[in-house]
Amino acid sequence: MDRLLLLRRLLWCVTSILMLSGTGHTAEEVLTPGNIHAARDNNLTLHCYLALFNAIVSLVSWNRCNRVDLVVYLNKSMASISPAFMEKISLAADYGITLHLLGLNDTGDYCCKFHTFPFGVYEGRMFLEGTGAY
């Protein structure tokens, strides 16, 4: 048996046992780049990755961590961009978003939220800091 497949099955079993025992989630389930530095007037693509095996992703949303909604993905190829950000944001592969022509107002926290079955909701956070003269 392939070692990676065996490891995945073992991880799934351990996660399932922890969920059933009521201890909750124990690992970092959403992988993000953390702090990001980007130059003014450039485009930047943000990604979050869900590191849960056997989870069914039903919805992925992006916001500014202060509840200003940016994008909601219904699946990997169908999403809705908030009307206020239609000129600022475009969709990227694997539930990502691309911010266009970065400016001072783009500095701050960005959150991605994965709604999954049967495990629930997982959120990732990253901080974008603009570099260069603003």
Looking up residue 69, the CATH number of its domain turns out to be 2.60.40.10
pLDDT at 67: 80
Tens digit of each residue's pLDDT, the chain (134 residues)? 454 444 355 444 334 433 433 333 434 689 999 899 999 999 999 999 999 888 999 999 999 998 899 999 999 889 999 999 999 999 999 999 999 999 999 999 999 999 999 999 999 999 999 887 55
In a domain, 7, yes or no: no
In a domain, 67, yes or no: yes
pLDDT at 130: 86
pLDDT at 7: 38
Nearest-angstrom CA–CA distance, 5 and 24: 24
* Boundaries of domain holding 43: 26-131
Q: At 128, list the tokens.
A: 């974008």
In a domain, 8, yes or no: no
In a domain, 2, yes or no: no
* Total domains, the chain: 1
Residue 27 zone, left/alpha/beta (φ > 0; ψ -120 to 50; rest): beta
In a domain, 69, yes or no: yes
